[in-house]
């Protein structure tokens, strides 16, 4: 399968390019040393510009965090919208949403990493956590619908299934490093494990005995 082309990050405000560059540098530092241990001065140094030049584009660290979290969450909700429009059974939409979540994570790796480390210390972080929970609900509802249609096994609680699926996807920020063409391969592995399982033949779910 051809690798999905990386999406162009949306540009905000007038001095688009510079704001994106500031954001990218900030997010790298947030992930390396932690949000609390990154100052606007550090961000300026990383970019080789003055602190006041940074403030020309950005109101402060909080805005950078907010933009990073939005970029991750917007990607996930765009994927949810695309999947909602597909005219296929819920089980396939669920599988597509998990696959696309892996691709969003791979394309927006640093932004998703920032998002997943947020613990809710500020109002903006609380808002981001609320949007994450909203996304959990989207996945939970798809599991429910797929169970009702008979496409997903009924013996796993929908919210638990959703959390385990997203837990597996989100774990990528801990060990996966994006590389060209790698996203589809890892999405294949995630969906194969999640939907077909690791067993060579799934015991107890083979078709009825023919005798």
Q: Which residues bind its own copies (CB under 8 A)?
A: 34, 36, 91, 94, 119, 143, 146, 150-153, 155-157, 160-161, 163-168, 170-172, 174-176, 186, 189-190, 192-207, 210
Of 53 and 148, nearer to its own copies (C-beta) is 148
Q: Shortest approach of its own copies to residue 13 CB, angstroms? A: 32
Of 50 and 171, nearer to its own copies (C-beta) is 171
Q: Shortest approach of its own copies to residue 80 CB, angstroms? A: 18
Of 20 and 110, nearer to its own copies (C-beta) is 110
Given the structure tokens 């927006």, which residue do they identify?
108
For residue 45, give the H/E element and its range.
Answer: helix 40-47
Q: Shortest approach of its own copies to residue 4 CB, angstroms? A: 19
Q: Shortest approach of its own copies to residue 155 CB, angstroms? A: 7
Of 17 and 175, nearer to its own copies (C-beta) is 175
User: Which of 58, 61, 38, 67 lies closest to 128, judged by CA?
Assistant: 67
Q: Shortest approach of its own copies to residue 124 CB, angstroms? A: 18
What residues have CB less than 8 Å from 134, skipping those under 6 apart? none
User: Which of 94, 102, 30 lies closest to 65, judged by CA?
Assistant: 30
Q: How many CB atoms lie within 10 A of CB 124?
A: 16
Given the structure tokens 């779910």, which residue do they identify?
205
Of 21 and 136, nearer to its own copies (C-beta) is 136
How far is Cα 66 from Cα 185, in angstroms, rounded to an integer?
Answer: 31
How far is Cα 46 from Cα 64, in angstroms, rounded to an integer?
Answer: 15
């Amino acid at each position: 399968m051809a690798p999905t082309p990386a999406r162009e990050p949306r540009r905000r405000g007038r001095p688009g390019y510079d704001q994106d560059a500031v954001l990218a540098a900030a997010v790298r530092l947030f992930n390396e040393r932690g949000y609390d241990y990154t100052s606007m001065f550090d961000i300026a140094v990383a970019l080789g510009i003055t602190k006041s030049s940074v403030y020309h584009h950005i109101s402060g660290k909080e805005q950078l965090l907010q933009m990073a979290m939005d970029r991750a969450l917007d990607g996930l909700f765009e994927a949810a919208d695309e999947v909602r429009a597909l005219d296929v059974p819920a089980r396939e939409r669920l599988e597509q949403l998990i696959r696309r979540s892996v691709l969003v994570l791979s394309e927006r790796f640093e932004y998703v990493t920032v998002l997943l480390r947020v613990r809710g210390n500020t109002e903006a972080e609380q808002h981001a956590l609320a949007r994450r929970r909203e996304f959990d609900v989207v996945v939970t509802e798809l599991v429910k619908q797929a169970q009702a249609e008979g496409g997903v096994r009924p013996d796993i609680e929908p919210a638990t299934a959703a959390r385990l699926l997203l837990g597996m996807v989100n774990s990528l920020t801990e060990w996966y490093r994006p590389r060209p063409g790698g996203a589809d391969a890892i999405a294949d592995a995630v969906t194969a494990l999640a939907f077909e399982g690791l067993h060579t033949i799934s015991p107890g779910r083979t078709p009825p005995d023919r005798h």
